[in-house]
């Protein structure tokens, strides 16, 4: 940038009104939670699972496509998957019967899931509850 040129403004939005999404897996028994869950975010937009002894993997994919990161749900008590601190917006909730390597930033890959899962809208401060059917692994 040349000396003395004006710098374009940077817009920063700070919010204190996140929502929450609670997912129930259709057909899953309501036994105690087993295993440890977590997310691995890799460069290139691939999210992977580090679930041990847990039959379902549940992801929250932002529909805005504005560089937001997909997140994986943690298994809580009563087989409810809960994701807190969710910014207001629209999301696709996908559940798989086994851990996945999901290329959530690849539009071609995501198109294969357009008719699967549930699309939810999270408003400021809202708790959304949804039931999804797991997608059978390959």
Q: pLDDT digit of tens for each residue in the chain (138 aa)?
A: 678 888 888 878 777 889 999 999 887 654 433 333 444 344 445 555 443 334 578 999 999 866 678 888 876 666 789 999 999 999 999 998 888 888 888 888 888 998 999 999 999 999 999 999 988 875
Fold for the domain defined by 19-132 = Immunoglobulin-like (2.60.40)
Domain extent listing, the chain: 19-132
Q: Residue 105: what pLDDT?
A: 82
Rg (CA), the chain: 17
pTM over 0.75: no
Q: Residue 3: what pLDDT?
A: 82
**Exposed/middle/buried for residue 53 (C-beta within 10 Å: 0-12, 13-18, 19+):** exposed
Q: Residue 37: what pLDDT?
A: 40
């Amino acid at each position: 940038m040349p000396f003395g040129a004006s710098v374009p403004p940077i817009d920063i939005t700070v919010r204190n009104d996140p929502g929450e999404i609670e997912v129930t897996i259709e057909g899953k028994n309501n036994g105690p939670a087993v295993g440890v869950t977590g997310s691995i975010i890799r460069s290139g937009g691939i999210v992977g699972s580090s679930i041990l002894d847990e039959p379902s993997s549940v992801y929250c994919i932002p529909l805005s496509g504005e560089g937001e990161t997909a997140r994986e749900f943690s298994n809580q008590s009563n087989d409810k998957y809960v994701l807190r601190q969710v910014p207001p917006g629209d999301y696709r909730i996908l559940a798989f019967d086994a851990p996945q390597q999901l290329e959530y930033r690849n539009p071609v890959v995501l198109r294969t899931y357009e008719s699967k899962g549930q699309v939810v809208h999270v408003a400021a401060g809202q708790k959304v509850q949804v039931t999804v059917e797991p997608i059978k692994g390959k």
